[in-house]
Chains A and B, each alone.
Chain A
Amino acid sequence: MFSDRKEYDDFWDFKAMLPPKKKSAVFSRDTEAVEIDLDADVENNNVASYRIPARKNGQARVSQHLPTLDQSYQPNNALIKSISVYRWPSKYTFYERFLANAQKYHFFAAEECEYVPFFSYIPQYIQLTKEQLNYYLWWRENQRRGVKIKTDYSYILLYIYEIINIPDLIEPSVGIILLSKLYLDWRGDFPKLDKCMPDWICDYCCIYKLDPPFDLLQGVVGTLQSESSFREFFLPFNCNDEDRLQLALLSLGCTYNWRKSKFYNCDTSSLFEKHIPTCFIYVAKKLSLTDDRLKMDSSSLPALKLTRDAFFGSLCAYNVKRRIDIEYYSLRSSPQIRELITNIVKFSENQIRSIAHIRSRFSSVNLDDRVKKAVLEYFAPYLAKAKKETIPDSEPEYMKQYESATSGLTPERAREIEKRSWYITEKLVEAFEEDDALSDETYDTNNLIDSTVRNDVTDSSLSRADTARIGLKHLCDSDFESFDTWAKSLHMLPDSAVEFINEQFYDEIGDICIESDGDRYRVIEDYLDDINKLI
């Protein structure tokens, strides 16, 4: 079958059977035109076969898709070991037009004009109408001068993007000031800035080797620390200040925000602000010799690496965007340290509550005895002083309205009061008056009985009182059957009949004379004598 070995081996060579691989063209995004000379090298006048020459600088203009190191340095922050800044690895260019426009408009002068609203999720110059552009420039001019006029969030973002993207025109040391002022001026009106500016300021400083402008941002350091994804960057300390290191430990390591305690108010805030940090420093210093967890030098903390995408979420041109690698010492990585710091703070707050005479306490704060002892040692003089100054329970102001108007006894006045009170007693006990008779819409039992009493039971000449006496007599004799018959004859239920009798004789006895004992109606024994006189 196969004449020779080679032919035999070639049988298993599938390369001939496979379709040829298409060679992928070197693809450039460059759309600039290239001049060609059709007269030369044309075979048989067939343009299609003419080979288009390669771009002269084409290869150089395509971005490397491998990151290249821009710079690496150690910042002036004891918690950050090193920062490495890389050019952004990308095959493509982006936001070049924005960059060009930013460079162009940076020098544009502004004229005063009316406010024009503008909205865009990613604002760019090409989205602006002429009026919007004029207003943006006018607003930017005022912002540069420190004058605050009406603006929209999109205008602010546009200016931020401008500052970020033209570091060659805006010196970074000036740029960070502009960014910080912009943030401080508008964060009240646009709280969304709190979400993005801390990270952008951090990236800007890292890229251009700047220290955070704490003198400007001191009022918002708390927000910067809480909102930034890299909190360690905004800790205001240097390597030689041990107290500040410990405060940094407190700030980053404590999971409990004592400023949000329900007992943190205008009366107690000074106690909290004074004692929590001071007590922590005291305890940390006292225990650092024996407890490695509280040692404050960087070597005792775990080192972590963080990669940041600079200006994430913003509009950043390809040649400005950077990748930032940060090596730092983390205060947050150890749950044990964080638990210890948090418990120290909570135990300290318990002592502050004692000083402020607040009963409520954090329960079961899990602390080592040595740590508790250190905290109590710090608070001892303050607690002793607070005990001496026990605040007496004072009655609220409104209770004065419930005290008697006069004090002291004057028997004559008392006699007058007692005498006068009989008038109110009379008013309260006087019998039901005829003038207050029930209205026509309601039922007047007495009148009805006058008209409906049957002759075979009672004499028509009998008065209401006489009629009632009959019923009363039956009850006095405990003749309940006769009483029921008598009530029925008056077309009344026993309840109504009893009420009728009571009403008839109330004036004479001064009280009801029949009451129910649950089963039957009975005459009240206290008035038996009076009743016997009546019947």
Chain B
Amino acid sequence: MDIARNEKVPRRILASLINSLVAGVVPRIGAPYIAIGREDEISALLSDLENVSEGGSSMRFIIGKYGSGKSFLMQLIRGFSLERGFLTADCDLSPERRICGSKGTGIATYRELMKNLSSKSSPDGGAIQSVIAKWLSNLQLEVAAEGLSPESASFAERLSAKIFDVSRSLQSQIGGFDFAHVINTYYKAYLADDDTKMASCLRWIRGEYSTKTEAKSALGVGSIIDDDNWFDYLKLMAVFVQKIGYRGLIVFIDECVNLYKIPNRISRENNYEKLLSMFNDTLGGRSPGLGVVLGGTPQFLEDSRRGLFSYEALKSRLSDGRFANTAFKNLSGPVIKLRRLSDDELYALITRATKLHAQYYDWQARITQDEMRAFFDTCLNRIGANSMITPREVLRDYLSLLDILRQNEEATFDKVMEGQLITPIQTESDEANEKQYQSFAAEDIEI
């Protein structure tokens, strides 16, 4: 375990990670350190990022049961994207936020995405302002690098020309003209130090104008971002961020099961139609620099009455091919099906958690391999565990156990687990393994 021995997890990350795991929430920071299993899925998603950074586009559905690790995988890739120079935007769908709908349910999704737009330096969202500010200041540096003095008139001219170059290149996209106009207005407001105008521009980009009249009077643009065209503006944003120096825009939309739950069939099919349109645009190469990752449950995908497969056009695009086999993985398609973590993988997760906990608190975990095994068997043998046990619950309970052992010198594993231990059924291989590991102690666990 050479790499692990030298691996130092930054303390801030470790703190955030441990706190998230104890709380039973998906860690926003530090997820790579507990990425157990899923190598193939992660590799597939990383190759999508590579494709996006080269000007392509991608769309993936991550489908798995509750607790299978969909949100974790999405957070993992999100963190990686941020580190790699992408911008990310994420949101969870809900009854108030859909892909398409009247009464503002479609634009609500876009607003949430823009609110959560993140960059490496603003990983928690709200990055739109800093992204544009960074772009403008980089342009200034570029012009200065050409030898022009910042006080000279030609500096301002040259700077304006560079800004118009970028905004002009957006005009060929749908909505590009108005978007370019807003960017130019923002720049002029920035030069004039007009905070009100700059705020109006940001409002428009975030889709917060509800009427064209309002937008027209504030910014002089005749269109707004609304329920019908928000995805077009998302595509435009992806092109823009690539032009200003980022690798691309990655959008994460989770809890897509809320679309499956829409009771009205027409409304549900409108959403699926919009998804189809997004799918065709991204996989047809008409969304350069944009990656979309959607998370949902198996029912959301495969239910023939209400799921995506009830919509024939999506079914033909998303269903497995003729040669699909449950024994073999195929991650080249748009759907990544997450199997439940196996018992080995869950046990590996516990082992990792032990190491991280020990590093964070700088102590030697007072727990042996046998005790870890006993804890694990207790988890598995609870009623319903064979179908419902999730890594979230296992980690939360295990870290809670470690915390108790750490904070109470007199506490032992047996005492803490009193009454809850279940003797596992021993097989021949178990007996052989037990002999091998009987000599192991906690000190043998290397970090």
Assembled-state Cα–Cα distance A403/B67 (Å): 12
Interface flag for A452 (CB, 8 Å): yes
Contact with B344, one of A400, A403, A414, A443 (Cβ below 8 angstroms) = A414
Identify the closest chain A residue to B126 (Cβ).
A516
Q: Which of B36-44, B202-210, B396-404 contacts A (4 or more CB under 8 A)?
A: B36-44
Assembled-state Cα–Cα distance A496/B245 (Å): 13
Give 1 or 0 for each of A504-531: 1 = CB within 8 Å of chain B CB: 0000011110001000000010110000
Chain B binding surface SS class: helix
Interface flag for B429 (CB, 8 Å): yes
List chain B residues, Cβ under 8 A from A403: 339-340
Q: B348–A418 contact, CB under 8 A?
A: yes
Assembled-state Cα–Cα distance A423/B39 (Å): 9
Contact with A448, one of B138, B337, B369 (Cβ below 8 angstroms) = B138
Q: B145–A452 contact, CB under 8 A?
A: yes
Interface flag for A429 (CB, 8 Å): yes
Interface flag for B311 (CB, 8 Å): no
Q: Which of B1-9, B216-224, B414-422 contacts A (4 or more CB under 8 A)?
A: B1-9
Q: A496–B344 contact, CB under 8 A?
A: no
List chain A residues, Cβ under 8 A from B10: 509-511, 527
Given A401-B326, A422-B7, the answer on whether A493 and B137 have CB atoms closer than 8 Å is yes
How distant is B321 from chain A, measured CB to nearest CB, in Å?
A: 14
Chain A binding surface SS class: helix
Assembled-state Cα–Cα distance A101/B433 (Å): 103
Assembled-state Cα–Cα distance A511/B79 (Å): 12
List chain B residues, Cβ under 8 A from A399: 65, 298
Complex interface residues of chain A between 384 and 425 (CB less than 8 A to chain B)? 396, 398-415, 417-425
Q: A445–B141 contact, CB under 8 A?
A: yes
List chain A residues, Cβ under 8 A from B298: 396, 398-399, 401-402
Interface flag for B80 (CB, 8 Å): yes
Contact with A408, one of B80, B84, B343 (Cβ below 8 angstroms) = B343
Q: A526–B302 contact, CB under 8 A?
A: no
Q: A448–B141 contact, CB under 8 A?
A: yes
Interface flag for B12 (CB, 8 Å): yes
How distant is B325 from chain A, measured CB to nearest CB, in Å?
A: 10
Assembled-state Cα–Cα distance A407/B141 (Å): 59
Contact with A499, one of B15, B79, B121, B427 (Cβ below 8 angstroms) = B121
Interface flag for B140 (CB, 8 Å): yes
Given A418-B351, A419-B1, the answer on whether A400 and B326 have CB atoms closer than 8 Å is yes
Identify the closest chain B residue to A425 (Cβ).
B32
Q: A524–B35 contact, CB under 8 A?
A: no
Interface flag for B338 (CB, 8 Å): yes
How distant is A513 from chain B, measured CB to nearest CB, in Å?
A: 9
Interface flag for B142 (CB, 8 Å): yes
Give 1 or 0 for each of B324-353: 1 = CB within 8 Å of chain A CB: 001000000000011111111101110110
Q: A491–B343 contact, CB under 8 A?
A: no
Interface flag for B158 (CB, 8 Å): no
Q: B245–A493 contact, CB under 8 A?
A: no
Q: A411–B138 contact, CB under 8 A?
A: no
Interface flag for B134 (CB, 8 Å): yes
Interface flag for A492 (CB, 8 Å): yes
List chain B residues, Cβ under 8 A from A429: 32-33, 83
How distant is B437 from chain A, measured CB to nearest CB, in Å?
A: 6
List chain B residues, Cβ under 8 A from A449: 141
Q: B344–A495 contact, CB under 8 A?
A: no
Q: A401–B337 contact, CB under 8 A?
A: yes
Q: A496–B4 contact, CB under 8 A?
A: no
Assembled-state Cα–Cα distance A418/B1 (Å): 9
How distant is A508 from chain B, measured CB to nearest CB, in Å?
A: 10
Contact with A424, one of B42, B83, B129, B369 (Cβ below 8 angstroms) = B42
Assembled-state Cα–Cα distance A509/B68 (Å): 33
List chain A residues, Cβ under 8 A from B145: 448, 451-452
Given A404-B339, A418-B348, A509-B10, the answer on whether A493 and B85 have CB atoms closer than 8 Å is no
Q: B344–A428 contact, CB under 8 A?
A: no
Q: B85–A428 contact, CB under 8 A?
A: no
User: Could you name 27 residue pairs across A and B whose Cβ atoms are closer than 8 Å?
Assistant: A399-B298, A402-B337, A403-B339, A404-B340, A406-B343, A407-B342, A408-B427, A409-B344, A410-B344, A410-B429, A414-B347, A417-B37, A418-B36, A419-B4, A421-B36, A425-B7, A428-B76, A432-B84, A448-B138, A448-B144, A491-B150, A492-B141, A496-B134, A499-B120, A502-B120, A526-B11, A527-B12
